[in-house]
Amino acid sequence: GASPGASDSTSKGFGEGSSLTYLTQSGILLYKCVSSCVLALLLDTEGKVSGSFEILPHIVSSEILGTGANGYGIKGPYTHWTELGVSGAAPSSSFRVACVGKSSKTNQPKMLCVEYNESSIRVKELVWAPGSSMGLGLSLSSSFDGVAAFSAPFVVNGERRKENGEESQIYQERAFLAAVTSNGSMLIFGEEVSTSNSPGGKESG
Chain segment 129-179, per-residue pLDDT in tens: 655 544 445 565 678 899 999 988 877 766 666 666 677 777 778 888 898
Amino acid at 164: N
What's the rounded Cα separation, in Å, for the pair 165 and 125?
A: 46
Amino acid at 183: N
With contact defined as beta carbons under 8 Å apart, do 5 and 119 qualify? Answer: yes
Q: In what order do the strands lie in the sheet with 38-43?
A: 17-23, 28-33, 38-43, 49-56
pTM for this predicted structure:
0.73
**pLDDT value at residue 188:** 86
With contact defined as beta carbons under 8 Å apart, do 95 and 116 qualify? Answer: yes
Dihedral sign computed on CA atoms, order 38, 65, 177, 150: negative
Q: How confident is the model at residue 17 (pLDDT cuts 50, 70, 90)?
A: low
Burial of 186 from C-beta contacts in 10 A (0-12 / 13-18 / 19+)? exposed
With contact defined as beta carbons under 8 Å apart, do 173 and 151 qualify? Answer: yes
Q: In what order do the strands lie in the sheet with 109-116?
A: 59-60, 74-87, 94-103, 109-116, 121-125
**pLDDT value at residue 198:** 33
Average pLDDT over residues 45-63: 89
* H or E element, residue 64: helix 62-65
**pLDDT value at residue 2:** 42
**pLDDT value at residue 80:** 94
Q: Which of 64-68, 80-84, 189-193 has the highest mean pLDDT?
A: 80-84
Beta strands per DSSP E along 24-130: 28-33, 38-43, 49-56, 59-60, 74-87, 94-103, 109-116, 121-125
With contact defined as beta carbons under 8 Å apart, do 85 and 116 qualify? Answer: no
Taking Cα atoms as reference points, which of 96, 124, 126 lies closest to residue 111? 126
